[in-house]
Chain A
Amino acid sequence: MSASYRISGGSALKRERTVRFRFDGRDYVGHQGDTLASALLANGVGLFGRSFKYHRPRGIVSAGAEEPNALVGAFGPTGGFTPNLRATQVELFDGLVAESQNRWPSLDFDVGAINNWLSPLFMAGFYYKTFMGPKAAGGNWVWRQLFEPAIRAAAGLGSPPTEPDPDRYASMFAYCDLLVIGGGAAGLAAAETAANSGAQVILCDEQAEFGGWLLSEAQAEIEGRAARDWAADVVARLRGRDNVQLLTRTQAFGYFPHDFVGLCETIEDAARCRNPALPRERLWQVRAGRVVVATGAIERPLVFVDNDRPGIMLAGAAQTYLQRWGVMPGRRIVLFTACDSAYPTALALAEAGGNVVELIDLRSNVAEALSAPLRARNIAVSVGAAVTGSRGGLRLNSVEIRSVDRNGQTGAMARQLACDTLLMSGGWTPSVHLHSQARGKVAWSEEAKAFLPVARAGGPISAGACAGKFGLRAAIRSGADAALAALGAPPTVDVTPAVAEPALDLTGMVGRVPFAGDPRRGKAFVDFQNDVSARDLLLANQEGMVSIEHVKRFTTTGMATDQGKTSNLNALAIVASNLGKPVPAVGLTTFRMPYTPVSFGSFAGIGRGDQFDPIRRTPIDGWAQAQGAVFEDVGTWKRARYFPKPGEDMHQAVARECRTVRQSVGMLDASTLGKIEVVGPDAAEFLERMYVNSWRKLAPGRCRYGIMLNEAGYVIDDGVIARVAPDRFHVTTTTGGAPRVLHMMEDYLQTEWPDLKVWLTSTTEQWAVIAVQGPKAREVLAPLIEGVDLAPKALSHMAYAEGRICGVKMKLFRVSFTGELGYEVNVPADYGRAVWEAIWEQVEKYGGCAYGTESLHVLRAEKGFIIVGQETDGTVTPDDVGLSWAFGKGKGDFVGKRSLSRTDLAAAGRPQMVGLLTDNPAIVLEEGAQIVAMVNAPIGTEALGHVTSAYYSSNAGRSIALALVADGRNRLGTKLHVPMPGGSVSVTLVEPVFVDPKGERVNG
């Protein structure tokens, strides 16, 4: 098919390379370098989508990031689908498939367009006033079942992606002396000036090519050559330097404190077709010494009735399509402007062979120098006139024109002018987004009809059009100056190149174009994408929404995916005029990141699947995997939960493991236990202050169970602590608590007691820990161990010794978390697996087993040992869980001590840990179940406590449970009830020990 609107030229195109693509099921041909927008325009496609609310047909408005209308869904080179892409930013690649959105059954014929006829009903905020449903019918139900689903189905734009994203996302941190955002005239000048001074420079631009407006420029010349050639030269020079990093297709999307800027680099789809290994996007996190913002200006649409028909486009966009993509926007072109820039556009189009019939200028005073060249080309120029309406179906076919007098009154007579294209220009709005994100202030300039950035010492410096410097020479000059100012270099002589340019006044107008008649008649769109028209703003004001923030939220103006890039200023000017206030008194809404939408994937980067968080595995993990262990997540660790034999489920495996441990021997990988080596002459004193227990008198070679509180008096960690030497302790912590405990210890040491001579080192991962528990534990270990006498008298319960196992250096703890005779063997991590396997050979000889964390939990519960985080939840004191015995007698202050005497912590009747026995021994309670005094307690009954742990105990031959129950210790022997969906379960409160109540077995 021939691209009928394609003419010669088009600096971005590689004409020799044709590209095939598909839009809404039809095949088209474009060129390499085309965007979807330019290629479709070249093919004569003017209809791109349907609007959000009224489903009005919409065409292309702009040529860049500000596009409000032409949103499409498209499949990327690797097949992933993305909705809501701006066709103006989608670069063609061979095989691109794109589709229009928000229409059914087709773009040409869309049933939803009925909304356009219902629009008098659907004005701003209508849903707040209705759909509540009749109260009698349970209004909420009607809303939920009927109205809400209907509203939801109608809303939304594109279809959501439904398949897992196949693409990769890369990331990079970068530092530079100067970051220049925007590579137009100002940005290029800033980058080159800074580069010349030797600074490290990063220059980024969201577009595929550097040059900004220079690429669209038709008249101005720099040093006697086309402006775009100057840009190409600068870029070539910058490319040759090693202190400059050039990033195209890279949007600066967010400006954060301390000059930290987020950039999103898009990798060209065509390149990704050739190499699917390429990431789709790369997130740059740049810490810049200073920043120059040179983001240019965005042209404003003119607000008149039916200004949204396909075929109505921004004038600058048309010039851009012409210059960069060789596209003539229509067959019969009219321009409507409030500033000078449309004149060169008209000329350029005419010179390229376009049929430009007339230019309508809202202003009455227009310099002859501007209009004469147009008239010379037979383009009528009507000044003091306005377009006040348009007609057409799926494309514009005529506009209505009226005269406008100096007071802004429109004439009574209207004429119709046939055209298929109207190019409009309301003036140019400086892009102060990033300056504002950087918490920079803006000030209204009446001359510029714009908010201009107010410089802040040390803050980003705006240059070029975004600072209101619209002329080319002015832009270049301000870019160079900004770079020097940013780098603290002295102002130099003016080295700006010689620029020949027409003097253009780009001020334009803000607000609504003069109109005739009732302001509520017809839809003069302000925010195209969200279908917000001038009358919606009027309604909002009438309803008392006078703050611009209320207007925004009530009408949704500026809240669409373009974030009001083309609409915000007009909206606020209309509101100002409705309220009779000056524009700055109404003020802007807040600019927020991102500048244009950024994919979640870019932020998430590599953090998916196993890379979401480190998976930590112990040195023995491979053995457990080989044995078919089932793992559970404990913090970031993977721990073997149980080791099922073929055919066993968890309960059977756990029952076997628990029985085996008590009958012969079992071994557990306890390597994840936190370990901290506490060294120094004041080590005992330090622990004395950190734990509730006493440590001074603990002899070297002995261990003690320690309990740690937070300053509020609640249990936060526990573990066995061994005194290795007079000045050295080996502290163990819970698996999850290790980093927290170390952090807290460092905190007290560094900031509360810096006088203490104590040094902390985390040794969690230095040592693999193998717990060997059960009556046969000693027999199992004895043949492997050297240098330690395992005899009960020599190494009694809670003793510590150092020696060798299998020839490997070992720290041996005689401790038990099962209530059985037990040891914990610590060996350097690299030896963990080998030593484990050696012990395993022994264990097998005794019919022993490996057991996992689930069995560990059952075994300790049989003995009534707590697990911090299960019996405790951050609201539990040591006394609550029966640990008062652990308090060091007559000891001084320690962390949390003072809090324990607060009223509530010392009160009677607090929840206390008890054991529970169900009447029916087969019933295993559910952890977290509530406990009440009454059978079948009615709703609203106050709970007395809850079940913290519950298991089937093969050793006890019945279910067991631990619980926290109000005043529990005084209720021992009484019956309480656990209400469950199927009815209450009766339980008897008992001491929390179910096996070996006298505690004899640890002595082996």
Chain B
Amino acid sequence: MLNIRCPYCEEDRPEIEFRNAGEAHIARPDEPDRVDDRQWADFLYTRDNPKGWHAERWRHVHGCGRFFNAVRHSVDDRILLTYKAGEPKPDIERMLREREA
């Protein structure tokens, strides 16, 4: 059971309080009618599915109720950071370099 820091509660909480909601930063087209079927299908279904760092959405559904994002490593489950919904996708490479330094 992962230990996830909720950026709203500002506490680490057990995974079962949360619900995962898939890849983060996939913007819903502003004007869906203007995108073609392929772009729409990409929005609906195509995902990066990376083996490595992954920005993903979570909701603290049995806690504060808020959606937020986490950068988690899909192989070893380390969580680099969590941040509030609406905040930009962090520069993961840079963060990792800074960690190292």
Contacts and interface: CB of A to CB of B under 8 A. Distances in A.
Indicate, yes or no, whether A interacts with B: yes
Interface of A: 256-260, 285, 287, 439, 711-712, 743, 746-747, 750-752, 754, 893, 897-899, 902-903
A911 B67 CA distance: 37
A747 B21 contact: yes
Contacts of B44: 711-712, 899
Contacts of A893: 31-33
Contacts of A752: 28
A258 B31 contact: no
8 contacts: A257-B2, A258-B1, A439-B76, A743-B19, A746-B59, A746-B65, A746-B67, A893-B31
Interface string B66-91: 11000000001100000001100000
Interface string B1-13: 1110000000000
Contacts of B77: 257-258
Interface of B: 1-3, 14, 19, 21, 28-29, 31-33, 35, 37, 40-41, 44, 57, 59, 61, 65-67, 76-77, 85-86
A258 B67 contact: no
B37 A260 contact: no
A285 B1 contact: yes
B67 A902 contact: no
Contacts of B28: 711, 752
A902 B32 CA distance: 12
Given A743-B19, A898-B32, A751 B2 contact: no
Given A260-B2, A893-B32, 10 more contacts: A285-B1, A711-B44, A743-B19, A747-B67, A750-B85, A754-B86, A893-B33, A899-B44, A902-B37, A902-B40
A777 to B, nearest CB: 38
Interface centre among B1, B31, B33 (most CB of A within 10 A): B1
A19 B37 CA distance: 78
Given A257-B2, A287-B3, A747 B59 contact: yes
Contact of A751 (B3, B31, B85): B85
Contacts of B59: 743, 746-747
A257 B75 CA distance: 11
Among all A-B residue pairs, the 10 with the closest Cβ atoms: A898-B32, A257-B77, A258-B3, A750-B67, A751-B85, A260-B1, A751-B67, A258-B2, A752-B28, A898-B40
A200 B96 CA distance: 32
Contacts of A287: 3, 14
A898 to B, nearest CB: 4
A750 B66 contact: yes
A237 B59 CA distance: 45
A567 B33 CA distance: 65
Interface centre among A259, A754, A893, A897 (most CB of B within 10 A): A893
Contacts of B19: 743
A712 B65 CA distance: 25
Nearest to A752: B28
A285 B65 CA distance: 25
Given A750-B66, A751-B85, A260 B3 contact: yes
Contacts of B21: 747
A751 B32 contact: no
A752 B32 CA distance: 13
Nearest to B29: A898
A269 B40 CA distance: 63
Contacts of B86: 751, 754
A754 B86 CA distance: 9
Contacts of B31: 893
A712 B41 CA distance: 9
A999 B66 CA distance: 44
B76 to A, nearest CB: 6
Interface centre among A257, A712, A893 (most CB of B within 10 A): A257
Contacts of A746: 59, 65, 67
Nearest to A896: B32
Nearest to B31: A893
A602 to B, nearest CB: 16
A230 B48 CA distance: 58
B35 A898 contact: yes
Nearest to B86: A754
A642 to B, nearest CB: 35
A256 B3 CA distance: 11
Nearest to B35: A898
A711 B2 CA distance: 29
Contacts of B3: 258-260, 287
Interface centre among B29, B40, B66 (most CB of A within 10 A): B40
A744 to B, nearest CB: 10
B4 to A, nearest CB: 9
A223 to B, nearest CB: 40
A987 to B, nearest CB: 36
Contacts of B85: 750-751, 754
A906 to B, nearest CB: 11
Interface centre among B41, B57, B67 (most CB of A within 10 A): B67
B101 to A, nearest CB: 15
A751 B57 contact: yes
B78 to A, nearest CB: 8
A648 B88 CA distance: 64
Nearest to A456: B76
Contacts of B1: 256-258, 260, 285
B85 to A, nearest CB: 5
Contacts of A258: 1-3, 77
A186 to B, nearest CB: 26
B38 to A, nearest CB: 10
B2 A903 contact: no
A386 B60 CA distance: 64
A902 B40 CA distance: 9
A855 B3 CA distance: 48
A940 B85 CA distance: 51
A750 B33 CA distance: 23
Contacts of B14: 287
A743 B76 contact: no
Contact of A899 (B40, B66, B67): B40
Nearest to B4: A258
Nearest to B76: A439
A902 B37 CA distance: 6
Contacts of B40: 898-899, 902
Nearest to B27: A752
A258 B1 CA distance: 8
Contacts of A750: 66-67, 85
A259 B79 CA distance: 13
A866 B28 CA distance: 30
Contacts of A260: 1-3
Nearest to B39: A898
A287 B17 CA distance: 15
A204 to B, nearest CB: 18
A996 to B, nearest CB: 39
Nearest to A173: B14
A1002 B89 CA distance: 54
A743 B21 CA distance: 10
Contacts of A897: 32-33
Contact of A743 (B2, B32, B41, B61): B61
B19 to A, nearest CB: 7
B15 to A, nearest CB: 8
A477 B12 CA distance: 33
B5 to A, nearest CB: 11
Contacts of B2: 257-258, 260
Nearest to A710: B44
B71 to A, nearest CB: 15
A898 B67 contact: no
Contacts of B67: 746-747, 750-751
Nearest to A902: B37
A743 B19 CA distance: 10
A752 B26 CA distance: 10
A409 B46 CA distance: 64
A903 to B, nearest CB: 7
B37 A903 contact: yes
Nearest to B75: A439
